[in-house]
Chain A
Amino acid sequence: MARYLARKTTIYLLTFFVAVSIDFAIPRLMPGDPVAGLISRLQADSTASQQLHGFFTDSFGLNEPLWKQYLTFWRGLLHGDLGPSIAYVGSTVSELIWQALPYTLALLIPATVLSYIAGNRVGAMAARRKVLDNTVLPAAYILTATPYMWLALVLAYFFAFRLGIFPVSGAYDFSLQPAWTWEFARSFLAHWFLPFLTLFLVAFGGWAIGMRNLIIYELEAEYANYLQALGAPEKLVRKYAYGNAVLPQMTGLALALGAVVGGALVTEIVFGYPGMGSLIITAIQNRDYFLLQGIFLFIILGVLIANFVVDILYVIVDPRTRTGLQGS
């Protein structure tokens, strides 16, 4: 187990290093001078603008050679300092991310976990049951092929614009400020529901299809036939099939996380949800190198940590991995 963990950790650290280096490079490959955009927004007079350009270029360290900026970036990173924001001068990237992160996590974690559980259950139920299979499967195919943004717009249109059941945008009512009250919690949940539902539905479709196919495959395996020949009840056979089918799904979960994060970002934008998605748009539009780096860093970290957790869970869930590791 220790050797397994050590090996995994090394791989994750290497991945982290490469990903973070790419993270540094990507924003800087975009055309456009971030300071010019900043000055253009400031609306100072002509004389002051020229001065300010030099001032900001220096203060962001953008006049330094790239390798130096790269070293500064790592040094800052190891000290937990993600640098200043260019889009929001005066704020640090860490501040901005800490403000936005809870909202994104509040969408992502429940949507991912619940869609995984529900998708697997429904997929398993649908397999080899004609009526269910004919209804659930097409629906699941449509859902999983739906772009997040489109589904978000459709839901917003019907449930917010047309029916007015849910609010159109934001994370809580305009008349409230975050506080520990029932009123706020109610408002928060009402605003949370549609973006959550968007993420949940798209992911749900994917898991349901995957599980349905895996169960069919498992039911055709020899152990299933053997059990059936022994006269085991269908329920029991399905139980065993499910146990085996869930393993590839788990790997799938690790692989899908990146896409889910991407989906959460666009969904947030549609619903004006004040999470990382809204932040990333501003960062891109303003060539905010530091903010972009910071957000990507969190995404990289999040996906890596989640993968790591799945890896560990895998060992716990699948006894074969464990025995393999112990060499017995």
Chain B
Amino acid sequence: MVTRRRGIQGGIAALALVAVLAVMSLGVGGASAGSQSPFALPRADTLYTSGTAWGPFASFNPLRSERSPGTVGLLYETLLRYDPLADKFIPWLATNGKWVGKSYVVTLRSGVTWNDGKPLTAADVKFSFETGKLEGSQYSTMWKTGLTSITTKGNVVSFNFKGTPNYQDWDTNMYSIPIVPKHIWSGYSATEITTGNTSDPKKMVGTGPFKYGAGAGTSGTLQWNRRDGWWATKALGKKMPMKYIVDIHNTQNTASLQNFLQNKIDLSNNFFPGVDKVIGGKVKTYFSKPPYMLSANTAWLVPNTTKKPLDDRVFRRALASSINVNRIVTADYGNIVAKADPTGLLPTWSKWIDKAQSKKLGFTYSVTRAKALLAGAGYRDANGDGFVENKDGSKIDLRIIVPNGWSDWMTAIQIIADSAKDAGIKVTPAYPDYNGLVDERNSGKFELVINNDKQIGNTPYTYYDYLFHLPIAETQTFANFARFTDAGAAPWAKTLALNKVKTSDVAKAKKLHAEIQKYILDYLPAIPLWYNGMWAQYNTTYWTNFPTSTGAGLQNTPSMWNGYLNMTGIDALAKLKQKGGT
């Protein structure tokens, strides 16, 4: 019996080895679809990026914001691009776009070809924008707010509107909506267009500088291969210096940082806590001094303005004045973020900020001021526990939430609770998981929550919409989480009015901006805390000439995040230089 059992065990051992191989082959079989490079990529010709993808590289659908890094920018392109640092639109697939009466007219660039050799046509543009009519499209709003038809003539496309167009929204569309090839996409069903992955390598046909290489469906790496015949080489003299771009799916922050420091990642768009300690030497950032990174969005402290005492704007102001944001910036972030302006508008929008007004009406950190505000409004500490009570004597204990695991934010709310305590406001941090938080926030059950959903873009209109959007529904899925109505319908009306102002009409826009900002400063529908960074760390071992604040012509967005390549991310890539190369 013993010998026989040994036989079985020996067999099992062999089986284990076979299993490793068999399973390996399964992995290979499953993941190699479309793989074109069984060899290791030459290091000098490859740019490794990370910090965008958190799961398998499943979606290559440019019409959905959940898509693999590079899908828009490297593969598919937009009519224009937008440079947030210079605040200007850059002609891209279109050589220009302008308003002619109530039509927006674009002229397509000639000589643009899809990577299957077919030319880009006006019909492709019309087709791409008309996908917004499909149920489930993310770009449906334009068809519900005035856009009535798209007409084409030669290489000219006219977008025709009824009533005054939403100019600000429209500008955003111009650099956000990617153009897809009609000759391929007309074969897709409506569902595939709006929610499909469109990941068949043969059908990934774009106008951009790269072609799909390998990695779809895996959660390891995604490889893009440089394409010959990219239109911008001939038209604008742009050439991509790298033959391959490999995007690495995020795992743990510590592992990503280690890989970055071991020179395995060239451009990291990860958030690395404590990265300020390794900046210098081979590790570079956009600014050589704090805050090191460009600002990408504002972190707001959103109060639920339907709950006592947060429904009182004096109390909100006292709370805002009690928060020591500088401590968050230095102790929590190691100076890689910057304190926000009291209007909450990003530095790139500084020309729209009424600075005198912001200085006069904006809150500043002052415990004395916070205490005075509370006392003046009738919030007193009657029971002597060190914390003020409501005017009716009931206790105040505000629950502040951020998603569990977001360690920087978790520290931030501890600092907030700590500094509010000095002013006599009791704030208790809590860390529900992300979906639980979304549920609480959207349904209006929360008291205080930190949020940064709105990103950098061409207009602060998106920020105003985020703060003032009306009407308030039972669930607020995207804007006005504070359920703010204190100032009536006026701020929202002015926001809508701003959307109807042409970007070129600067004087009129400035006036409205100042008026809307006054509501932010006076009412604090949300308290702007700090600007989250456009996290970008460069390892200059293999590649140099990354975007910086000082380098000539290098003021570009150094990010592979969705939506950033079609700002000036693509320029940043084109300007990179091989170390030791030319």
- The answer to whether B46 touches A242, judged by C-beta atoms less than 8 angstroms apart, is no
- The answer to whether A183 touches B40, judged by C-beta atoms less than 8 angstroms apart, is yes
Contact mask B277-291 → A, CB, 8 Å, 1/0? 000000000000000
- The answer to whether A103 touches B195, judged by C-beta atoms less than 8 angstroms apart, is no
Contact of B436 among A31, A39, A47, A99 (CB under 8 A): A31
Query: Is B246 positioned at the interface, with any CB of A under 8 Å from its CB?
Result: yes
Q: Which residue of B lies closest to A172 (CB)?
A: B220
A163, B81: Cα distance in complex, Å:
46
Indicate whether A185 sits within 8 Å of B195 (C-beta atoms), given known contacts A117-B12, A174-B248, A178-B218: no
| Chain B contacts with A in 43-88, Cβ cutoff 8 A | 43, 46, 48, 54-56, 58-59, 61, 64-66
Indicate whether A169 sits within 8 Å of B255 (C-beta atoms), given known contacts A36-B475, A110-B17, A177-B35: yes
Q: Which residue of B lies closest to A44 (CB)?
A: B138
Q: Is the interface of A mostly helix, strand, loop or mixed?
A: helix
Contact of B65 among A44, A47, A169, A274 (CB under 8 A): A44
Q: Which residue of B lies closest to A106 (CB)?
A: B23
Query: Is A259 positioned at the interface, with any CB of B under 8 Å from its CB?
Result: no
Q: Which residue of A lies closest to B140 (CB)?
A: A48
Indicate whether A113 sits within 8 Å of B13 (C-beta atoms), given known contacts A44-B138, A87-B55: yes
Contact mask A186-222 → B, CB, 8 Å, 1/0? 0010001000000000000000000000000000000
Query: Is A29 positioned at the interface, with any CB of B under 8 Å from its CB?
Result: no
Residues of A within 8 A of B100 (CB): none
Residues of A within 8 A of B56 (CB): 88, 91, 96, 99, 274
- The answer to whether A52 touches B219, judged by C-beta atoms less than 8 angstroms apart, is no
* A8-16, A17-25, A138-146, A282-290 - the one binding chain B: A282-290
| Chain A contacts with B in 51-87, Cβ cutoff 8 A | 51-53, 55-56, 59, 87
- The answer to whether B16 touches A168, judged by C-beta atoms less than 8 angstroms apart, is no
Residues of B within 8 A of A30 (CB): 435
Q: Which of A99, A164, A175 has the most CB of B within 10 A?
A: A175
Query: Is A184 positioned at the interface, with any CB of B under 8 Å from its CB?
Result: yes
Indicate whether A184 sits within 8 Å of B12 (C-beta atoms), given known contacts A32-B439, A171-B220: no
A32, B249: Cα distance in complex, Å:
26
| Chain B contacts with A in 246-265, Cβ cutoff 8 A | 246, 248-249, 251-252, 255-256, 258-259, 262, 264-265
A82, B249: Cα distance in complex, Å:
25
Residues of B within 8 A of A252 (CB): none
- The answer to whether B32 touches A179, judged by C-beta atoms less than 8 angstroms apart, is yes
A113, B246: Cα distance in complex, Å:
36
- The answer to whether B27 touches A110, judged by C-beta atoms less than 8 angstroms apart, is no
Residues of B within 8 A of A258 (CB): none
- The answer to whether B435 touches A285, judged by C-beta atoms less than 8 angstroms apart, is yes
Indicate whether A106 sits within 8 Å of B19 (C-beta atoms), given known contacts A34-B435, A46-B478, A175-B41: yes
- The answer to whether A51 touches B140, judged by C-beta atoms less than 8 angstroms apart, is yes
| Chain B contacts with A in 450-485, Cβ cutoff 8 A | 453, 455, 462, 465, 469, 473, 475, 477-479
CB distance from A271 to the nearest CB of B (A): 8
- The answer to whether A110 touches B59, judged by C-beta atoms less than 8 angstroms apart, is no
- The answer to whether B434 touches A37, judged by C-beta atoms less than 8 angstroms apart, is yes
CB distance from A237 to the nearest CB of B (A): 12
Residues of A within 8 A of B141 (CB): 44-45, 47-48
Query: Is A239 positioned at the interface, with any CB of B under 8 Å from its CB?
Result: yes
Residues of A within 8 A of B462 (CB): 45
Query: Is B429 positioned at the interface, with any CB of A under 8 Å from its CB?
Result: no
Q: Which of A55, A176, A180 has the most CB of B within 10 A?
A: A176
Indicate whether A90 sits within 8 Å of B195 (C-beta atoms), given known contacts A36-B477, A164-B262, A319-B1: yes
Chain B interface residue count: which class? 35 or more
Residues of A within 8 A of B497 (CB): none
| Chain A contacts with B in 100-141, Cβ cutoff 8 A | 100-103, 105-106, 109-110, 113-114, 117
Query: Is B120 positioned at the interface, with any CB of A under 8 Å from its CB?
Result: no
- The answer to whether A317 touches B32, judged by C-beta atoms less than 8 angstroms apart, is no
- The answer to whether A113 touches B255, judged by C-beta atoms less than 8 angstroms apart, is no
Contact of B258 among A117, A160, A185 (CB under 8 A): A160
A243, B5: Cα distance in complex, Å:
8
Query: Is B356 positioned at the interface, with any CB of A under 8 Å from its CB?
Result: no
A106, B117: Cα distance in complex, Å:
42
Q: Which residue of B lies closest to A176 (CB)?
A: B40
- The answer to whether A177 touches B19, judged by C-beta atoms less than 8 angstroms apart, is no
CB distance from B375 to the nearest CB of A (A): 38
Contact of B139 among A48, A113, A175 (CB under 8 A): A48
Query: Is A256 positioned at the interface, with any CB of B under 8 Å from its CB?
Result: no
- The answer to whether B12 touches A47, judged by C-beta atoms less than 8 angstroms apart, is no
Residues of A within 8 A of B220 (CB): 170-172, 174, 274
- The answer to whether B219 touches A100, judged by C-beta atoms less than 8 angstroms apart, is yes
Query: Is B145 positioned at the interface, with any CB of A under 8 Å from its CB?
Result: yes
Residues of B within 8 A of A183 (CB): 39-40
Query: Is A230 positioned at the interface, with any CB of B under 8 Å from its CB?
Result: no
How many residues of chain A get a CB closer than 8 Å to chain B's CBs?
Answer: 87
Residues of A within 8 A of B248 (CB): 170, 174
- The answer to whether B1 touches A43, judged by C-beta atoms less than 8 angstroms apart, is no
Query: Is B9 positioned at the interface, with any CB of A under 8 Å from its CB?
Result: yes
A269, B255: Cα distance in complex, Å:
11
- The answer to whether A95 touches B219, judged by C-beta atoms less than 8 angstroms apart, is no
Q: Which of A101, A179, A286 has the most CB of B within 10 A?
A: A179
Query: Is B201 positioned at the interface, with any CB of A under 8 Å from its CB?
Result: no
Residues of B within 8 A of A184 (CB): 28, 38
CB distance from A167 to the nearest CB of B (A): 8
Indicate whether A43 sits within 8 Å of B38 (C-beta atoms), given known contacts A48-B140, A164-B262: no
Q: Which residue of B lies closest to A85 (CB)?
A: B58
Query: Is A328 positioned at the interface, with any CB of B under 8 Å from its CB?
Result: no
A109, B264: Cα distance in complex, Å:
31
A106, B35: Cα distance in complex, Å:
22
Q: Which residue of A lies closest to B27 (CB)?
A: A102
Contact of B38 among A99, A109, A180, A316 (CB under 8 A): A180
- The answer to whether B438 touches A168, judged by C-beta atoms less than 8 angstroms apart, is no
Query: Is B20 positioned at the interface, with any CB of A under 8 Å from its CB?
Result: yes
A317, B356: Cα distance in complex, Å:
87
Residues of B within 8 A of A172 (CB): 220
Residues of A within 8 A of B26 (CB): 101-102, 105
Residues of B within 8 A of A171 (CB): 27, 220
Contact mask B114-142 → A, CB, 8 Å, 1/0? 00000000000000000000011111110
Indicate whether A274 sits within 8 Å of B435 (C-beta atoms), given known contacts A53-B477, A175-B40: no
A317, B570: Cα distance in complex, Å:
65
- The answer to whether B478 touches A44, judged by C-beta atoms less than 8 angstroms apart, is yes
Contact of A177 among B9, B223, B258, B473 (CB under 8 A): B223
Indicate whether A59 sits within 8 Å of B195 (C-beta atoms), given known contacts A52-B136, A174-B248: yes
- The answer to whether B66 touches A285, judged by C-beta atoms less than 8 angstroms apart, is no
- The answer to whether A168 touches B55, judged by C-beta atoms less than 8 angstroms apart, is no
A190, B406: Cα distance in complex, Å:
31
A114, B19: Cα distance in complex, Å:
12
- The answer to whether B13 touches A46, judged by C-beta atoms less than 8 angstroms apart, is no
What are 9 A-B residue pairs whose CB atoms fall within 8 Å in the complex? A36-B442, A44-B138, A46-B477, A99-B30, A168-B259, A185-B24, A192-B20, A271-B251, A316-B8
| Other A-B pairs beyond A90-B64, A91-B59, A319-B1, 9, CB < 8 Å | A30-B435, A36-B477, A46-B479, A90-B197, A117-B13, A173-B40, A177-B215, A188-B24, A317-B8
Q: 10 nearest interchain CB pairs? A: A272-B251, A32-B435, A179-B38, A90-B197, A169-B255, A102-B26, A106-B23, A274-B219, A102-B27, A49-B478
Interface residues of B (CB under 8 A from A): 1-2, 5, 8-9, 12-13, 15-17, 19-20, 23-28, 30-32, 35, 37-41, 43, 46, 48, 54-56, 58-59, 61, 64-66, 135-141, 144-145, 169, 195-197, 213-215, 217-221, 223, 246, 248-249, 251-252, 255-256, 258-259, 262, 264-265, 433-436, 438-439, 442, 453, 455, 462, 465, 469, 473, 475, 477-479
Interface residues of A (CB under 8 A from B): 30-34, 36-37, 39-53, 55-56, 59, 87-91, 95-96, 98-103, 105-106, 109-110, 113-114, 117, 156, 160-161, 164, 168-181, 183-185, 188, 192, 239-240, 242-243, 246, 269-272, 274, 278, 282, 285-287, 313, 316-317, 319
